Structure 1
Amino acid sequence: MYQASVRSQDEGFMVHYAYGRRGSTLSTGTKTESPVSFTIAKRIYDKLVAEKTAKGYRPGDDAGQMQLVSSKVHTGIHCQLLNPLEEDRLNEVLLDPAYWMQEKLDGRRLLLKKAGDQITGINRLGFPAAVPESIVHSAQRHKGSFLLDGEAVGDQFHAFDLLSVDHEDMRPLRYAVRYFRMRDVLFSFFHPHIHYVDACFKPAKSGVFNEFKRAGKEGVVFKHHDAPYSPGRPNAGGPHLKYKFVETASFVVTKVNDKRSVSLILFEDEKVRPAGNVTIPPNHDIPAPGTVIECRYLYAFKESGSIYQPVYLGPREDIRAAECVTTQLKYKNASPEPV
């Protein structure tokens, strides 16, 4: 058996572990030589849990035994995550008719599953997520089963891909096939709170791209019309890419300051990098240290790593602290205009 825990000590936290056979005296130790911040301790603990579960350990019922970060049961469904489109490839992709373009909405990533009368929401990590009643009622109007990938914006669900319908797995099929099948499915029943996201597949998409940009949209997604739906994120590039008009990133809150401000950090390999502060609006609760939050910003300073003109968007329970890395940031530079 293996036990792991995060415990407070002095001004910080320590990560403790113990292992051995049940009923025997356990060998003990710590993963931290001295007290560290909760954020760093939580990251070390998460990494330890991931390593042990990968080796076959499972959470137990004994008090103090290793527990997984989430108490929810994983659905076994993983969503497709996209890499950003590099600036120097933007015009190439805009002019390539093989890439279809969809608006990137400013919402909460959500997979919507209907199996019989049961409606299940699934977040980007693959865990069950709450679904607004309006979306549930709309989904229940469909006579069969489906699995849609999309974004929840308020009480509306915006579908941009179809993963399965009834007993047919659509994921191995071309994106073009999935897109038109998704439209057919949604045309077949009345669903006032479910919408599909239009795909632009004109040879020249620049006009629509610039309209989105002028309208202050969050960004666009480019999908190769021959690409299957591949769960997870490619190490680099990929046939599906995202391009943001506004910069957003996920950060870890490290402390609460005066005047409703919190300090932010990001990880760079094993190092912790400060990322500045953000003010929390009065209509939001102040996030506690260790919370992952989303912020919009204009750009980041290369020298300090701090973000300029940050705007707090809210907590992100579906993003792990380990994903809050410096590679998310866009630094101040000149960007070429699309053709």
Structure 2
Amino acid sequence: MESITLYCRENGSDKVYQASLQPQEQGYVVNFAFGRRGSTLTTGSKTPVPVSYVVAKTAYDRLVRQKLATGYTQGPALTESLQHQPPTPTGLRCMLLNPVAEDELEDLLQDHVHWMQEKMDGRRMLLQKQGKVITSMNRLGVTFTPPETIQQSAAQSPEDFILDGEAVGDVFHVFDILSLAGEDLRQSRFATRYFQLRDFLRTFRHTHIKLVESYCAPEKEPWFQTLKEQGKEGVVFRHMDAVYTPGRPNAGGPCLKHKFYETASFVVAKNNDKRSVSLLLFEGDKIKRAGNVTIPPNHAMPKAGSVVECRYLYAFWESGSIYQPVYLGVREDIRAAECTTDQLKYKAEPTLVTV
């Protein structure tokens, strides 16, 4: 097995590129991961299926030569726990939440059975430690390579675990725990899991793993206003007795989310001129246009057919287009079929006054 880590710091950039040649099944695969240093890396493979060693070695060497020719230089070798992991379905899935209904928000802020946490604006991630092996999974349960800093912090733990949280840059913000030291905690109430998580994180150094604070009444309402004024993404309400249930309920549920601004996932229809793309959504068996969004210079242009996330103020009833869209990035962990018009929040229609 071979692996290499390359870095590029030209013209103010700070990029990392990892490549590895690994045995898989009856052959070999060449996998890669790249992105800004310290961020969650984008992963892929040069060999969609295992190939012979000669073919894989040729592809690996060619890939390394190409990167070295474009300004990358070799960095320190990766340790065993930091090897790039090929994307693999694991069977583990995140617990996904429905939004809070507007008429429920006040009750959730006042009651004593729902705990409130800040909703982080990052990439959803399950982080697992088994012996010396650190594995991360997206919301669909498919493995990907997290920042090395997060892996290094996880490796300091004296116990095996599975944690749930959001990766924001090179920090993993953890809000729940699924297992600890081989014990499955998913059927325990959330309050019990949270206190176990808090106590566990006190047992080792973890500079790049941070606990998401929980707030109970009467602290919820003032913290809600503070987070909103600070421009945070939103909050999550978790019932203190909720067990950890993978997937999303058809409606409601013991844990709910409330965003301070609107976001939605869209399918890229095509690339336009001047660094913008056209967006579309599904409505039943119909395809609906959702407008255009400009791609910032620090983002690569997404390909047609890829899923992207955008922030917006509201959508228009007539056209279905989103107003004041802001491009947030590609979402490899969301399927195109999930990009439906049900996500949208529409501009309020004017109220007719009769006299």
TM-score w.r.t. the length of structure 2 is 0.73
Does 2:297 match 1:282?
yes
1:28 matched residue in structure 2: none
Structure 1: which amino acid aligns with 2:288?
R
1:225 matched residue in structure 2: 240
Does 2:179 match 1:164?
yes
Question: Structure 2 CA distance, aligned partners of 1:134 and 1:282?
Answer: 26
Q: How does 1:109-120 map to 2 (within 5 A)?
A: 109-120=124-135
Deviations 1:54-75 (A, max 9, x none): xxxxxx99xxxxxxxxx84311
Aligned residues of 2:95 and 2:244 also touching (Cα < 8 A) = yes
Question: Structure 2 CA distance, aligned partners of 1:190 and 1:255?
Answer: 46
Question: Structure 1 CA distance, aligned partners of 2:318 and 2:99?
Answer: 23
Question: Structure 2 CA distance, aligned partners of 1:302 and 1:160?
Answer: 36
| Correspondent of 2:267 among 246, 249, 252 | 252
2:104 matched residue in structure 1: 89
Cα deviation for residue 190 of structure 1 reads 0.7
Structure 2: which amino acid aligns with 1:194?
I
2:226 matched residue in structure 1: 211
Question: Structure 1 CA distance, aligned partners of 2:210 and 2:327?
Answer: 27
Question: Structure 2 CA distance, aligned partners of 1:85 and 1:154?
Answer: 27
Cα deviation for residue 186 of structure 1 reads 0.4
1:332 matched residue in structure 2: 347
Aligned residues of 1:95 and 1:204 also touching (Cα < 8 A) = no
Cα deviation for residue 244 of structure 1 reads 0.2
Does 2:198 match 1:154?
no
Does 2:157 match 1:142?
yes
Aligned residues of 1:253 and 1:292 also touching (Cα < 8 A) = yes
Structure 2: which amino acid aligns with 1:95?
Q
1:202 matched residue in structure 2: 217
Question: Structure 2 CA distance, aligned partners of 1:289 and 1:104?
Answer: 30
Does 2:108 match 1:79?
no
Question: Structure 2 CA distance, aligned partners of 1:285 and 1:84?
Answer: 30
Deviations 1:233-253 (A, max 9, x none): 000000000000011110000
Aligned residues of 2:150 and 2:170 also touching (Cα < 8 A) = yes
Structure 2: which amino acid aligns with 1:176?
A
Structure 1: which amino acid aligns with 2:160?
S
Does 2:282 match 1:264?
no
Question: Structure 2 CA distance, aligned partners of 1:155 and 1:283?
Answer: 18
Question: Structure 1 CA distance, aligned partners of 2:177 and 2:300?
Answer: 35
Q: Which runs of 5+ in 2 are unaligned?
A: 1-48, 51-85, 350-355
Question: Structure 1 CA distance, aligned partners of 2:169 and 2:200?
Answer: 23
SS at match of 1:74: coil
2:197 matched residue in structure 1: 182
Structure 2: which amino acid aligns with 1:234?
P
Deviations 1:241-268 (A, max 9, x none): 0000011110000011111111000001
Q: Percent identity?
A: 61
Q: 1:135 and 1:72, CA in 2 relative to 1: closer, same or farther beyond 3 A?
A: closer
TM-score w.r.t. the length of structure 1 is 0.77
Question: Structure 2 CA distance, aligned partners of 1:329 and 1:117?
Answer: 43
Does 2:313 match 1:319?
no
SS at match of 1:125: coil
Structure 1: which amino acid aligns with 2:315?
A
Structure 2: which amino acid aligns with 1:193?
H
Structure 2: which amino acid aligns with 1:173?
S
Question: Structure 2 CA distance, aligned partners of 1:223 and 1:105?
Answer: 15
RCO (CA 8 Å, sep 6+): is it higher in 1 or 2? 1
Aligned residues of 2:239 and 2:255 also touching (Cα < 8 A) = yes
SS at match of 1:91: helix
SS at match of 2:90: coil
1:32 matched residue in structure 2: none
Aligned residues of 1:97 and 1:204 also touching (Cα < 8 A) = no
Q: How does 1:43-82 map to 2 (within 5 A)?
A: 72-82=87-97
Q: Which runs of 4+ in 1 moved over 4 A?
A: none
Cα deviation for residue 203 of structure 1 reads 3.5
Q: 1:92 and 1:142, CA in 2 relative to 1: closer, same or farther beyond 3 A?
A: same
Aligned residues of 1:266 and 1:274 also touching (Cα < 8 A) = yes
SS at match of 1:278: strand
Aligned residues of 2:309 and 2:331 also touching (Cα < 8 A) = yes
